[in-house]
């Protein structure tokens, strides 16, 4: 690619020929900071997510119903529990591993069996990559690791990214807004960011979307064309000597 020379100060037109560069500006690549980054508010404490997989069984008194116990498949004549849409004798609703009664404590269903929270943490719960604690609620799977929702944070604003788009820079995750503020390259023509996968070119010392590099007078595309410049603005051959820009 031949980069066009920057225009000299004054009114004499400068000419050049460019071809577009097709590449990625953004995800995983260092960008160019275009001016000062606005100050961000101090991060607020992150409340723990309330979504949890821990459930509680419902207690029902003896009545005219004669439900079948999901454990022993016998008719229940007295008080019973309801959990996971099934009925249970109170003394037969136990943790599949340690046999602790789950009648009055939280339980977790896993692979068709029920476990107390302690056994579930030991055998099934993933570990959060940030705090190293077990995850009993919603899990974020990112960067080949597991995280609490409130532990997967933007490296700059320290706010939870949750299920939103994020970008990597030096191995650190950034929310989309902060990534483009810190590392993104803006198009000199439209001033919008040049995002991952966008076609772009470099000319007159700036970066442009390929569709934004046009003659400042007639808006003819200059991609791959010989062009002139005046006051850092690109011009086609027809308008190279235009006096009013």
In a domain, 94, yes or no: yes
Residues 73 and 112 in one domain: yes
Residues 66 and 91 in one domain: yes
Q: How many domains does the chain have?
A: 3
In a domain, 32, yes or no: no
Residues 105 and 145 in one domain: no
Q: What is the number of helices (H) and of strands (E) in the chain?
A: 2, 15
Domain boundaries, position 3: 1-20+199-205+214-245
Residues 70 and 111 in one domain: yes
Q: Where does residue 177 rank: exposed (0-12), middle (13-18), buried (19+ CB within 10 A)?
A: middle
Residues 115 and 150 in one domain: no
Q: Which CATH number goes with the domain that contains 113?
A: 2.10.110.10
Query: Which two tokens mark 116?
Result: 């107390």
In a domain, 145, yes or no: yes
Out of 73, 91, 123, a domain closes at 123
Q: How confident is the prediction along the chain (245 residues), in pLDDT tens digits per residue?
A: 333 333 333 334 444 444 333 333 333 333 333 334 444 544 444 445 556 788 999 998 887 678 999 999 999 988 999 999 999 999 999 999 999 999 999 999 998 899 999 999 999 999 999 999 999 888 999 999 999 999 999 999 999 998 888 888 888 999 988 888 787 777 888 877 777 667 878 888 888 888 898 898 898 888 888 888 888 889 998 888 876 76
Distance of CA 42 to the CA centre of its chain: 21
Q: Which residues in 36-165 belong to E strands, given as ranges?
A: 58-60, 80-83, 86-88, 107-110, 113-116, 139-142, 145-148
């Amino acid at each position: 690619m031949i980069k066009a020379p920057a225009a000299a100060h004054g009114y004499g037109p400068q000419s050049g020929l460019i071809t577009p560069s097709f590449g990625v500006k953004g995800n995983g690549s260092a960008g160019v900071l275009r001016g000062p980054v606005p100050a961000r508010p101090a991060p607020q404490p992150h409340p723990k997510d309330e979504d949890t997989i821990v459930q509680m069984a419902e207690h029902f008194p003896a009545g005219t119903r004669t439900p079948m116990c999901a454990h022993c498949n016998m008719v229940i004549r007295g008080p019973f529990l309801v959990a996971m849409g099934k009925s249970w004798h109170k003394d037969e609703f136990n943790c599949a591993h340690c046999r602790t009664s789950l009648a009055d404590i939280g339980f977790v269903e896993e692979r068709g069996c029920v476990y107390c929270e302690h056994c579930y943490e030991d055998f099934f719960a993933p570990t959060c990559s940030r705090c190293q604690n077990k995850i009993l609620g919603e899990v974020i799977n990112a960067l080949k690791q597991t995280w609490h929702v409130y532990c997967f944070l933007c490296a700059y604003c320290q706010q939870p990214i949750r299920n939103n788009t994020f970008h990597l820079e030096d191995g650190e995750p950034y929310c989309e807004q902060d990534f483009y503020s810190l590392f993104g390259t803006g198009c000199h023509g439209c001033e919008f960011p040049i995002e991952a996968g966008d076609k772009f070119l470099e000319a007159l010392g700036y970066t442009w979307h390929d569709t934004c590099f046009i003659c400042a007078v007639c808006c003819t595309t200059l991609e791959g064309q010989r062009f002139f410049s005046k006051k850092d603005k690109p011009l086609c051959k027809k308008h190279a000597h235009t006096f009013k820009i």
